[in-house]
Amino acid sequence: MLHSRVGRVAAVCGLLAILFALMIGFGMATPAPELGDYPDGNALAQHPDSHVGEAVQVTGSVIGTEPVEIAVEYEYTASGEYHSGTLTVTVRNVDIAVDEGESLQVYGTFGPDRTITAENSVRVPAVNYMAMYIVSALAGLWTLWRLVCGWRLNWQTGGLCRREEPLRPIQALHKRVQEVRA
């Protein structure tokens, strides 16, 4: 079946349909604390009073340190209307030092007046995100380099084929420089 173009197109369309169905299904899932899925910023912004006294888990940027306040972004749709914004939450019992701009993930009990009594918290310094993006970009470029040098596109079948002789752009460039010098 996958040896013909029609078979490959049908397989890709089938996989995309399954992916779409899974996205819709998981997108409609509600928080389930018994499964480790606690209410988050979206649930707290939508119905804050219904979560008072419940265990919650939120992540946000630290905007204040005395007391610790985090800005939790949310977005949800209710009654056909789209809502998005930032929810300011005060966190009590934070056992680690935090600075403004850092990301703070908090697990604890949601209380009145948008407070969370933390049972556990993890901070992520802002510089960690920059390092993550740089490493990810370098890994992506290296992977693209390997793909271009070791594989080619077969225009007749629309598939990737291994090159008989891998491209060696750096060696070719070095060879040309040597020829120019000679």
CB atoms within 10 A of CB 7: 11
Instruction: Choose the CATH number for 34-126 among 3.40.50.700, 1.50.10.10, 2.40.50.140, 3.40.50.300.
Output: 2.40.50.140
Residue 3 — pLDDT band, cuts 50, 70, 90?
A: confident
Residue 1: predicted pLDDT:
59
Read off the pLDDT of residues 11-48 as tens digits, 9 standing for 90 and up. 999 999 999 998 887 776 666 666 667 888 888 888 88
Q: What is the pLDDT of residues 56-113, one digit of tens each?
A: 999 999 999 889 999 999 998 888 899 999 999 999 999 888 888 889 999 999 998 8
What confidence tens digit (pLDDT) does each residue in 148-177 have?
Answer: 888 888 888 888 889 888 878 777 677 777
Cβ atoms within 10 Å of 61's Cβ, excluding its own: 17
Q: Where are the chain's structural domains?
A: 1-30, 34-126, 127-181
d(CA 178, CA 182): 6
Assign 136 to helix, strand or coil: helix
Q: What is the enclosing helix (H) or strand (E) of 167?
A: none
Cβ neighbours around 58 below 10 Å, total: 25
In this prediction, residue 7 carries a pLDDT of: 84
Q: What is the pLDDT of residues 117-153, one digit of tens each?
A: 999 888 887 777 788 899 999 999 999 988 888 888 8
Both structure tokens of 179 = 């020829």
Residue 130 pLDDT:
83
